[in-house]
């Protein structure tokens, strides 16, 4: 006898609202090992934070039923997307899927978007109308852009002429195609955002790898970085690399020297700064950022536009029972990186396992490592280990590391090979 014969549509809708019923019916494809599980965790977002949290929850406590909500069947990683621009990787190389999470870890993956969170009823509504109940919710939606921050800019312009390429996928392909069809002798303008933003070294690695491509294919071309900031991540190391590998090709203009963009015109491909106008053949404007849309709509953000959390568990300080991880969260001095998001996902998973058992979460330590490729055999890195103090998340003194300014060619080559190892490890750890 099929289910529709036994339950009316109205009763069926009511059942969807009670997670225990949905789990026992296996309505969402709840896997056999999680069948009858008493606790349910829903994870919104299958990127670096969310996918790691979902997988580690299942590893730490297989009795928990974990549902991951992510609209994309294929996730393109931002890490190594700059390598794609340089022709050193393809889009296929940076693609990840949810097959292993589903089949090996029995995570119930739903290909849809969360459109509303009801923190009072502990439910998440999906775009397709389905409602999921949770005992704990993890929110890891990454970033959203402040489209109105630069007059003349818009999401439509970003999707056609001025890509940000700061969420990997079609945006990366658009920027790649523009670079490939640009004339020799053209000008690429990169406009990084103000702090805080996703991957602080990202725009500067991008400038390096676009220079790598242009040097080989279009050597008369130039790159102009118009920056609202007066300093940037790993600045000395980047500038040293640019002088060695791409002399005269990359110009960085700081905020005080006229780098702040005040207007953009996509028709004439003109960027206006406080000091004048610049025309570009390719313009890569990366807008200022805020927490992912669903975090905003659920009231998880504060006046800063990001989500305040208790760093022991990454539980929201606004809505108990909801944990915000990754770029959307305010994580003290930790940068907004994939490695940090993954580390936070594991900390949140471990904390949730204890909370669901009625225990107090242990005080965690968190980590971050970030490699930036400047040329094929030339990479730099920064690393840090973090702990909790009364002041929040702080770096443990002496724990971190930065490539030294006087590193020799062997060391820089070794860093480049470590970067590949880093990427392979983190994508395996998260989706593999």
Ligand X SMILES: Cc1cc2nc3c(=O)[nH]c(=O)nc-3n(C[C@H](O)[C@H](O)[C@H](O)COP(=O)(O)OP(=O)(O)OC[C@H]3O[C@@H](n4cnc5c(N)ncnc54)[C@H](O)[C@@H]3O)c2cc1C
Angle at 397 between CA 394 and CA 400, to 5 degrees: 90
245 close to 239: Cβ distance less than 8 angstroms: no
| Least distance CB 2 / ligand X (angstroms) | 30
* Helices 338-356 and 409-431, packing angle to 10 deg: 40
From its phi and psi, is residue 30 left (phi > 0), alpha (psi between -120 and 50) or beta? beta
| Least distance CB 44 / ligand X (angstroms) | 5
One symbol per residue from 319 to 348: x for binding ligand X (CB under 6 A), - otherwise; what is it?
-------xxx-------xxxx-x-------
| Least distance CB 337 / ligand X (angstroms) | 3
The C-alpha atoms of residue 118 and residue 131 are separated, in whole angstroms, by 10
The residue whose Cβ lies closest to ligand X is 47
The answer to whether residue 415 forms part of the interface with ligand X (CB under 6 A) is no
| Subset of 375-394 contacting ligand X (CB under 6 A) | none
Q: By rule CB under 6 A, what count of residues binds ligand X?
A: 38
Interacting residue with ligand X among 19, 54, 70, 250 (CB under 6 A)? 70
Q: Is residue 365 packed enough to be buried (19+ CB in 10 Å), middle (13-18) or exposed (0-12)?
A: middle
The C-alpha atoms of residue 49 and residue 379 are separated, in whole angstroms, by 25
Length of the chain counted residue by residue:
432
| Least distance CB 164 / ligand X (angstroms) | 8
The answer to whether residue 82 forms part of the interface with ligand X (CB under 6 A) is yes
Which lies closer to ligand X via its Cβ, residue 7 or residue 383? Answer: 383
The answer to whether residue 81 forms part of the interface with ligand X (CB under 6 A) is yes
Reply yes or no: is the peptide bond before residue 196 cis, omega within 30 of 0.
Answer: yes
| Subset of 189-208 contacting ligand X (CB under 6 A) | 198-199, 202, 206
Which lies closer to ligand X via its Cβ, residue 186 or residue 193? Answer: 193
327 close to 344: Cβ distance less than 8 angstroms: no
Interacting residue with ligand X among 123, 140, 273, 289 (CB under 6 A)? 140
| Least distance CB 130 / ligand X (angstroms) | 12
Which candidate, 262, 265, 318, places its Cα nearest to that of 291? 318
The number of C-alpha atoms within 13 Å of 380 and in the hemisphere containing its C-beta is: 23
Interacting residue with ligand X among 78, 84, 214, 322 (CB under 6 A)? 78
The C-alpha atoms of residue 204 and residue 153 are separated, in whole angstroms, by 22
Which lies closer to ligand X via its Cβ, residue 277 or residue 297? Answer: 297
108 close to 293: Cβ distance less than 8 angstroms: no
Interacting residue with ligand X among 288, 292, 305, 361 (CB under 6 A)? 292
Which lies closer to ligand X via its Cβ, residue 165 or residue 245? Answer: 165
Which lies closer to ligand X via its Cβ, residue 47 or residue 361? Answer: 47
Interacting residue with ligand X among 16, 40, 41, 46 (CB under 6 A)? 46
Angle at 411 between CA 76 and CA 91, to 5 degrees: 15
End-to-end Cα, the chain, rounded Å = 38
Interacting residue with ligand X among 44, 65, 107, 249 (CB under 6 A)? 44
The answer to whether residue 142 forms part of the interface with ligand X (CB under 6 A) is yes
| Least distance CB 329 / ligand X (angstroms) | 8
| Least distance CB 142 / ligand X (angstroms) | 3
Which lies closer to ligand X via its Cβ, residue 202 or residue 361? Answer: 202
For 68, 91, 147, 318, the CA distances from 301, given in Å and listed in that order, are 22, 33, 18, 8
| Least distance CB 246 / ligand X (angstroms) | 18
The piece of 64-72, 245-253, 277-285, 350-358 that touches ligand X (CB under 6 A) is 64-72
The C-alpha atoms of residue 124 and residue 368 are separated, in whole angstroms, by 31
Q: Which two tokens stand for residue 377?
A: 């055999």
The piece of 47-55, 272-280, 374-382, 396-404 that touches ligand X (CB under 6 A) is 47-55
Burial 415-430 (b: 16+ CB within 10 A, else e): bbeebeebbeebbebb
| Least distance CB 199 / ligand X (angstroms) | 3
Give contact residues for ligand X (rule: CB under 6 A): 44-50, 69-72, 75, 78-79, 81-82, 113-114, 140-142, 166, 198-199, 202, 206, 292, 294, 326-328, 336-339, 341, 370-371
């Amino acid at each position: 006898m099929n289910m529709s014969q036994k339950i009316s549509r109205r009763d069926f809708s009511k059942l969807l609202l009670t997670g225990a019923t949905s789990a026992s019916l296996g309505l969402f494809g709840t896997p056999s090992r999680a069948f009858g599980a008493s606790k349910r965790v829903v994870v919104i977002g299958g990127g670096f934070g969310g996918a790691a949290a979902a997988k580690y929850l299942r590893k730490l406590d297989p009795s928990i039923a974990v549902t991951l909500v992510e609209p994309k069947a294929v996730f393109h990683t931002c890490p190594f997307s700059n390598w794609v621009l340089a022709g050193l990787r393809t889009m296929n190389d940076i693609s990840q899927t949810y097959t292993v999470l589903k089949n090996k870890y029995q995570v119930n993956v739903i290909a849809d978007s969360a459109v509303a969170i009801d923190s009072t009823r502990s439910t998440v509504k999906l775009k397709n109308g389905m409602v999921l109940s949770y005992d704990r919710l993890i929110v890891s939606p990454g970033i959203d852009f402040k489209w109105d921050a630069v007059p003349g800019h818009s999401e439509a312009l970003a999707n056609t002429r001025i890509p940000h390429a700061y969420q990997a996928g079609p945006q990366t392909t658009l920027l790649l195609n523009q670079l490939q069809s640009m004339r020799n002798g053209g000008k690429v303008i990169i406009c990084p955002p103000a702090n805080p933003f996703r991957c602080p070294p990202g725009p500067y690695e991008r400038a390096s790898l676009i220079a790598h491509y242009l040097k080989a294919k279009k050597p008369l071309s130039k790159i102009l970085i118009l920056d609202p900031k007066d300093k940037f991540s790993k600045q000395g190391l980047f500038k040293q690399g640019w002088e060695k590998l791409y002399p005269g090709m990359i110009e960085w203009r700081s905020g005080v020297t006229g780098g702040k963009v005040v207007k953009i015109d996509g028709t004439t491909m003109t960027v206006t700064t406080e000091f004048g106008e610049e025309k570009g053949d390719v313009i890569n404007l990366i807008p200022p950022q805020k927490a992912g849309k669903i975090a905003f709509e659920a009231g998880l953000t504060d006046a800063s536009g990001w989500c305040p959390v208790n760093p022991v568990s990454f539980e929201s300080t606004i809505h108990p029972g909801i944990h915000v991880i990754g770029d959307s969260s305010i994580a003290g001095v930790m940068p907004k990186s994939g490695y940090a998001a993954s580390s936070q996902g594991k900390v949140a998973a471990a904390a949730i396992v204890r909370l669901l058992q009625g225990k107090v979460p242990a005080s965690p330590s968190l980590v971050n490592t970030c490699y930036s490729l400047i040329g094929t055999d030339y990479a730099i890195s920064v690393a840090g280990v973090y702990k909790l103090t009364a002041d929040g998340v702080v770096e443990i003194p002496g724990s971190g590391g930065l490539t030294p300014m006087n590193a020799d060619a062997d060391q820089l080559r070794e860093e480049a090979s470590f970067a590949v190892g880093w990427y392979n490890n983190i994508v395996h750890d998260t989706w593999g």
